Structure 1
Amino acid sequence: DCTTCWVNATNLADQIEAGGRSWKAYQEGMPSACFVGDAYPYMQKHDPWIYFNDIRTNAARCSAHVVPYTQLATDLANGTVPNYVWITPNMCNDMHDCSIATGDSWLSQQVPAILNSAAYRNNGVLFITWDEGSTNAGCCTNAAGGRIATLVISPLARTGFQSTVQETHYSLLRTIEDSWGLSRLGGASCGCTAQMREYFR
């Protein structure tokens, strides 16, 4: 949970922009765009984008792309949702510090607006995943931190499908990169990383 472990490396945002697409990270509870530090229930450790030097130290880029979650409703209403969206709930709604029921209630209020948006209806996909389980168990070569659920919701997805393939967060990264013809970063480039293709028709 280091808050000063800055990273000087190519990241998914760099790839998305180089590929001519747009992105934005919506952080619930973030006091202002590109905020660095903690302001509970917003915690910087759950905002991966702020750790990349080429995002955090570029004020214009950072402020345009790493924003408070409240901006999502405006972007949905205006039809200005970017191609790639990252959403982080606050420490209560992400179920870290509050109950599962609290997180479920938050999702029940937020997900319908996303599913009713043009961005989603136009062959979009919503991935809902967690960052860690209740043990340190891992399924695959580079996985640790427990086993988690991941929901894949899309007009292109197989209805009611449950995968038996062992996958990691790098599988999600690889799936995004492969679908947009981007090179694979980090663990996504490992031959041990499965692509999440089986969820789609």
Structure 2
Amino acid sequence: MSRRGRATLPAIAVAVVAVLVAGAAAGTPAAPRTPRLAATGPAAVPHVMLIVEENRSEEAVIGAPQAPFVNALASRYGVATASYAESHPSLPNYLELLSGTTWGVTDDGTGYSFPGPTLADQLQQHGIPWRAYMESMPRPCYPGGGFNGYAKKHDPFMYFRSITGNATSCANVVPFTALHADLASGAPPAFLWVTPNLCDDGHDCSTETMDRWLATNLPPLLESSWFAQDGVVIITWDEGSGGSGCCRGAHGGRIATLVVSSRLYQHASSATPIDHAGTLRTIEELYSLPFLGDAACSCSGDLRSLIESPPTAALTWLTVSHFR
């Protein structure tokens, strides 16, 4: 297999990791360092993380001074400028992201149970390791509607019998703290889903809190060998405000969707309309999986143009001062 060098750790990650280690009170900006070069070329199995945040329209995030980390990512990596949520309220959007349909749901009820299939089922069937990390979840496969900031309505995995009725699959729906151990092991699963708790995802707390959580938790992943090996991190929001939409009739408002890719060597943006089914479609394309539900329609859009660009030396290096 041919190999080519690539920068695996943008200074955005280096800088914030330095803050975590040294402490925010140190006040000394970290100097940029030369990026490590990793072997590239298509990995046997792509590495993808999906992070779902809460209740922000695109204009409340992109360009907002309350979100310096998100905007630093947006200025360096990929941004979908015509991204739309599926519906209101939260739950139908999460169901769409995981299964390609809202199942007709129009509320945040916790008693629903659907047969599947889901993206998790597809990955399981194809032998692709996956895990869903739920912040503040008290234990793996927790069946309750909520706990100390964990909300089932933001955890679509627990709505599907194909997962909850399968002990192996359900054991993959775990507290967020397990991610740190998985990263430390050097062998996290190929697909990672992350849902922060009700405060850290911006649902109950400020945009600053949401941004700070990302600035704390994302850099260790970007510094890992997992990301270096064809890693792609998609950050999206469940719903915006109002009823604007696109594609097959999505009407959940315009949202921000970012793509942080180890194969994207310069900033890129896409004005092609995309909804949550298009995000699912993109993930299925990366793993060469069949399309589920609404993802089967190319009208849902995709994020492929934000995942890869030709190598270039024109990388933008950021220091810790960008996040003060």
Deviates more, 1:66-75 or 1:141-150: 141-150
After superposition, where does 1:13-162 map in structure 2 within 5 Å? 13-37=120-144, 38-63=146-171, 65-162=172-269
Cα deviation, residue 161, structure 1: 1.0
Matched residue of 1:16: which SS? helix
Cα deviation, residue 158, structure 1: 4.8
Q: Describe the superposition over 1:35-80 as per-residue Cα deviations: whole angstroms up to 9, x where unpaired.
A: 01111311000001111102112234312x0000000000000012
Rounded to whole Å, the distance in 1 between the matches of 2:196 and 2:282 is: 23
Alignment-mate amino acid for residue 114 of structure 2: V
Alignment-mate amino acid for residue 165 of structure 2: T
Rounded to whole Å, the distance in 2 between the matches of 1:39 and 1:132 is: 22
Residue pair 2:199, 2:209 contacting (<8 A) in 1 also: yes
Tell me which residue corresponds to 1:167. 274
Matched residue of 2:268: which SS? coil
Residue pair 1:3, 1:44 contacting (<8 A) in 2 also: yes
Matched residue of 2:243: which SS? coil
Residue pair 2:247, 2:301 contacting (<8 A) in 1 also: no
Cα deviation, residue 185, structure 1: 0.3
Matched residue of 2:270: which SS? coil
Matched, 1:187 2:298: no
Alignment-mate amino acid for residue 212 of structure 2: S
Deviates more, 1:128-137 or 1:52-61: 52-61
Q: Describe the superposition over 1:135-178 as per-residue Cα deviations: whole angstroms up to 9, x where unpaired.
A: 22212223121111011001112521121111111111111111
- Which structure has the highest strand share of the two? 2
Tell me which residue corresponds to 2:31. none
Q: TM-score, normalised by structure 1?
A: 0.95
Alignment-mate amino acid for residue 195 of structure 2: T
Cα deviation, residue 8, structure 1: 0.4
Q: 1:73 to 1:190 in 2, by over 3 A?
A: same
Matched residue of 2:192: which SS? strand
Tell me which residue corresponds to 2:112. 5
Gaps in structure 1 of 5+ consecutive residues: none
Rounded to whole Å, the distance in 2 between the matches of 1:168 and 1:78 is: 34
Q: How many correspondences in the alignment?
A: 200
Rounded to whole Å, the distance in 2 between the matches of 1:19 and 1:154 is: 23
Deviates more, 1:135-144 or 1:21-30: 135-144
Rounded to whole Å, the distance in 1 between the matches of 2:169 and 2:178 is: 16
Rounded to whole Å, the distance in 1 between the matches of 2:136 and 2:185 is: 22
Matched residue of 2:174: which SS? strand
Alignment-mate amino acid for residue 270 of structure 2: S
| Aligned CA-pair RMSD | 1.2
Rounded to whole Å, the distance in 2 between the matches of 1:181 and 1:7 is: 24
Q: 1:158 to 1:187 in 2, by over 3 A?
A: farther
Alignment-mate amino acid for residue 86 of structure 1: W
Residue pair 1:24, 1:84 contacting (<8 A) in 2 also: yes
Rounded to whole Å, the distance in 1 between the matches of 2:148 and 2:246 is: 32
Alignment-mate amino acid for residue 115 of structure 1: L
Matched residue of 2:147: which SS? coil
Higher-Rg member (1/2): 2
Residue pair 1:139, 1:147 contacting (<8 A) in 2 also: no
